[in-house]
Amino acid sequence: MESQIIIDFVAKYFYWAFLAWIFMTLIQRRHGSKGVKKRMAVLYQAILIFLIMVYATILKMNDLTDIYLIIAAIVALMILFFGRKLILPYHSRCRVCGKRMSFERIFYYDDPLCSEHDEEEIEMTEEVKKKIKEIKEEDQKDKPDNN
């Protein structure tokens, strides 16, 4: 048996990385329709991790060396390069103003816009302000004057 240090590591620990990526897709579901592309990207990443893990397990079962894992690494890098818009759709800066976005906006929202330029969020904020104003007006109407 020749050197299988990397194969053992990948076969053993990529399982946990795969589970972490699947768990991340479940966390992203709470953002609903705002992050469908990002959720699919994380799913594609998890599939890529799973395929590398399976390949490493097959190499381990057949007592092959770590050199054969280079093939999987090259294929994974090619998939990442040619499918980067689909697999890696993350932007750290706002498309409009260039302001650095929060972790939540980078990983959960499809549009590369900060909260100041996201039209849906602006509309929701205005609606909330209107509701608060209406509630305050109703409370003042319901309060009797003690004068």
For 10-38, how does the pLDDT look when each residue is reduced to its tens digit (9 = 90+)?
Answer: 988 999 999 999 998 888 888 777 888 88
How far apart are the C-alpha atoms of 25 and 4, rounded to whole Å? Answer: 32
For 74-126, how does the pLDDT look when each residue is reduced to its tens digit (9 = 90+)?
Answer: 999 999 999 998 998 888 888 888 889 888 888 888 888 877 777 766 677 77
Outline where 62-118 has alpha helix (H): 69-82, 84-87, 103-108
Cα–Cα nearest to 101, from 38, 15, 29 = 38
Give the residue extent of every domain in the chain. Answer: 5-113
**100 forms bridges with which residues in the sheet?**
93
pTM of the model: 0.73
How far apart are the C-alpha atoms of 91 and 118, rounded to whole Å? Answer: 14
